Structure 1
Amino acid sequence: MGKDDYDVIVVGAGSMGMAAGYYLSRQGAKTLLIDAFDPPHTNGSHHGETRIIRHAYGEGREYVPLAIRSQTLWNELQEEADEIIFKKTGVLGFGPDGSDFIDEAIASSKEYSLPLDLLDAAEINERWPGIQLPDGYKGCFEPESGVLYSENCIRAYRHLAEKNGGSIVPNAPVKNIKADKDSVSIETDDETYIGKKVIISAGAWNKDVLANLNLDIPLQPTRQTTTWFDSDPSLYEADVFPAFFVDTPSGVYYGFPSFDSSGLKIGRFDIGEKTEAAYMNREYGIYPEDEGHVRKFLETYMPQAAGDLKQGRTCIFTRTPDEHFVVDLHPNHSNIAIAAGFSGHGFKFASVIGEILSQLALDGQTEHDISKFSITRPALQQNE
């Protein structure tokens, strides 16, 4: 395949981009994926083994149809892939009475008739002895949700995209993008590639890439950490303990049961050091807070999980001001689709976002409602 005869070029083959490449190649489009690294890798937002998928959604019930479609697509990928994609652990959410996040998750489950068990603190403590909640807390348990094996997902999409005839150029940072009415050229250090359509999904590097197209979106990368703790398998192994998300007065946390004695994994959602992605310090433990925040949470709510540190990882969130995604066509170039700003809760949607991006690239529109993710919404115009 020559460098100048692609139907669609995907710039950034991480979570959303690799999924888009799969759906494009499956439809017979001549597809090229270009990435600054060699996915799956540890420089972006998809590593660290696991991600939660929830359907009853505390971030807004508008996400629920996309979450349901995502689950369907992940299940389809599981049938086609040689990798383990999804494990149904159930997902538990809890917080104090009056938590807007928990209330919205409950409301979204009712609106879409999703299975959800409503529990008080005593019921949670009894059902999962590894949790110790005080009075005045409540929770909800979603039995059909669970955990995605994120790196396996990327690996499976890549393998299948290549099997379908797609091509990938790894370790090739994009230096410049030039668009005209009928084509877009993508320049790397070694080559210039030309495609009829382009998808830009460069994660924490999106701001720099989009600057080539005179587009300034307020995207802020933040340094995030996740930590694995030695924990009692009788209490925290995946066959007896769920994935979880927690809204507490001191912060918002999320975590995973122990898989094959790997240890309970936990991260904090609502903080993160602002950074430029290329200069982010990826060494875990350079700040006491890397371990300290999550250990304090465990000591308060899951004390028997606060064992020895097993490992820690660093990754990147890229946040928008309202923490909703950007999925849209470029305002001035209808042959360029953009996926950006997934704000730490996007991976679960990678399958459906990939489907959406393939539709935008090939048809100029999508069957899914993405109005909430408009590139021209007021929240993205605040710095003008």
Structure 2
Amino acid sequence: MQGADSDYHTIVVGIGAHGSAALYQIAKRGYKVLGLEQFSEVAHDRGSSHGSSRIIRLQYHEHPDYVPLLHRAYKLWRDLEADSGKTVLHITGCLEFSDPVRTVSNCFGHALRSAIEHNLEHEVLTGEEVNKRFPGWRLPSHFKALYQPQGGILNSEEGIRAHTRAAQKHGAILHTGERVQRWQVLPSGKVEVITNKATYTAGRLVLTAGAWMPSPELVPELRGITQVQRQVIGWFEVADKAAFSMEKFPVFIFDDDQLGEYYGFPEFDNLPGMKIGKFYHLNEAALPDQLSRDITSADEEVLRDGISRYLPEANGRMLKAVACMFTNSPDSRFIIDKHPLHHQVVLCSACSGHGYKFASVVGEILADLATSGTTQHDIALHRITEDRKGMDGLLGRFARNPKARL
């Protein structure tokens, strides 16, 4: 069946963090754009963006080249708030430290490097100074921590809703409960998208389907390149609510030699308890449609390990826990680029557990690529190239499979 009024400038598939931002940015520029979401609503609990909160920070231990994108992301989140009338970004400051023994992956040292290189406002605090200023912490006195005052919380679900509603205000069409079955580039150069309900055509296609990107219906060449991983976050009862309030307790990341890397939040969004997660959790591979949502004692134990060592005042009952997904690339960078064979198709995937904060600027980049074919933002780290870790041979996969979706 052909969809009514089915010819669009751009179709965006997957209206999560980055898809909703792309939908908004394209619509805001005056283009006719359709968003397709396979689930019955946006900001649902089956992807990677639920659980109410995500960290945003300017210092970036992953690589200093992310910082210019972050400056733009902050600006665009504030622009979205002005356009939508919704508050999404909440400043708390960000605290980042590493066990001094840990030298291989020292988030404190790399974060400090990015702060110095980009002249970011920051302080280096001893463990004793952290404990005094932020009484929820119990750090050894010889530890050093980086405090960056512009860090904070993004309301992740509200961000998706705000982007989507603002996109619709600017004329975007949104179809929920509609799953893509296949797509193809027609001889005319337009892209045809066939769903379980209708067929649409557009001049451009933007694929932002998160963990579903490697599916046979979308970009099967990414199968085995991107890896989906089960992630659990929990909220724990605190002994002193004031100490874990947004006014007294910044968002945090810490890297422990024995335990690994953790991240967390003050009490936020009417959800009681301090929220904490461990990067890569139990290292459980998953399939997006078969992810176990059941929370186990092992899930709780790995979170409590991090709490008991440095946050004993938050080692109360686990009040809530949810399972979501990371979609990891081999080098933990993003995939943002035009399709190697089809300039009409833009790909965005594999945010590797740290992509939500960039959604506002990634939406702008995707809109740039869809409307002009290029962007002024530096996305060299995130393009599809053979020299990226684990991606050698990827371009060959595309070349060998040019008609996989025809």
Compute the TM-score of the two structures, normalised by the length of structure 1.
0.96
Equivalent position of 1:63 in the other structure: 66
Correspondence 1:313-328 to 2 at 5 A: 313-328=322-337
Equivalent position of 1:35 in the other structure: 37
| Aligned partners of 1:218 and 1:383 also within 8 Å | no
Identity of aligned residues (%): 36
For residue 134 of structure 1, what is the amino acid of its counterpart?
P
Q: Displacement, 1:210? A: 6.4
The alignment covers a number of residue pairs equal to: 382
**Residue number among 244, 264, 287 corresponding to 1:236 in the alignment:** 244
Equivalent position of 1:19 in the other structure: 21
| Aligned partners of 1:6 and 1:194 also within 8 Å | yes
Residue 247, structure 1, aligned to residue 255, structure 2: yes
For residue 343 of structure 1, what is the amino acid of its counterpart?
S
Q: Which portions of structure 1, spanning 4 or more consecutive aligned residues, are displaced by more than 6 angstroms?
A: none
**Residue number among 329, 341, 352 corresponding to 1:332 in the alignment:** 341
Equivalent position of 1:266 in the other structure: 276
Equivalent position of 1:101 in the other structure: 107
Distance 1:297 1:214 in 2: 37
Distance 1:166 1:48 in 2: 26
Deviates more, 1:82-91 or 1:97-106: 97-106
| Aligned partners of 1:221 and 1:319 also within 8 Å | yes
Residue 354, structure 1, aligned to residue 363, structure 2: yes
Residue 161, structure 1, aligned to residue 167, structure 2: yes
Residue 191, structure 1, aligned to residue 194, structure 2: no
| Aligned partners of 1:73 and 1:351 also within 8 Å | yes
1:330 to 1:216, Cα distance in 2 relative to 1, 3 A: farther
Distance 2:126 2:195 in 1: 56
Equivalent position of 2:399 in the other structure: none
Distance 1:213 1:297 in 2: 37
Give ranges in structure 2 of 5+ residues lacking alignment. 395-406
Equivalent position of 1:219 in the other structure: 226
Equivalent position of 1:277 in the other structure: 288
Q: Displacement, 1:135? A: 3.9
| Aligned partners of 2:214 and 2:221 also within 8 Å | no
Distance 1:303 1:62 in 2: 35
For residue 381 of structure 1, what is the amino acid of its counterpart?
M
Q: Secondary structure at the match of 1:147?
A: strand
1:215 to 1:268, Cα distance in 2 relative to 1, 3 A: closer
For residue 22 of structure 2, what is the amino acid of its counterpart?
A
Q: Displacement, 1:266? A: 0.4
| 1:269-296 deviation line (CA, Å, top 9, x unaligned) | 133310111111122x2x3221111111
| Aligned partners of 2:182 and 2:218 also within 8 Å | no
1:223 to 1:213, Cα distance in 2 relative to 1, 3 A: closer
Equivalent position of 2:89 in the other structure: 86
For residue 206 of structure 1, what is the amino acid of its counterpart?
M
**Residue number among 287, 304, 326 corresponding to 1:295 in the alignment:** 304
| 1:122-170 deviation line (CA, Å, top 9, x unaligned) | 1111111211112442110111120000111101111111111100111
Distance 1:194 1:3 in 2: 10
Give ranges in structure 1 of 5+ residues lacking alignment. none
Compute the TM-score of the two structures, normalised by the length of structure 2.
0.91
Distance 1:209 1:203 in 2: 14
Q: Displacement, 1:100? A: 2.5
Distance 1:315 1:79 in 2: 30
Equivalent position of 2:398 in the other structure: none
Equivalent position of 1:10 in the other structure: 12
How large is the RMSD of aligned CA atoms in angstroms?
1.6
Distance 2:114 2:346 in 1: 29
Residue 150, structure 1, aligned to residue 156, structure 2: yes
Distance 1:64 1:15 in 2: 19
Distance 1:299 1:213 in 2: 42
Q: Secondary structure at the match of 2:307?
A: helix
| Aligned partners of 2:204 and 2:345 also within 8 Å | yes
Q: Displacement, 1:42? A: 0.4
Distance 1:350 1:318 in 2: 15
Distance 2:35 2:145 in 1: 42
Residue 141, structure 1, aligned to residue 144, structure 2: no
Q: Secondary structure at the match of 2:34?
A: strand
Distance 1:110 1:75 in 2: 25
Q: Displacement, 1:5? A: 1.6
| Aligned partners of 1:324 and 1:373 also within 8 Å | yes
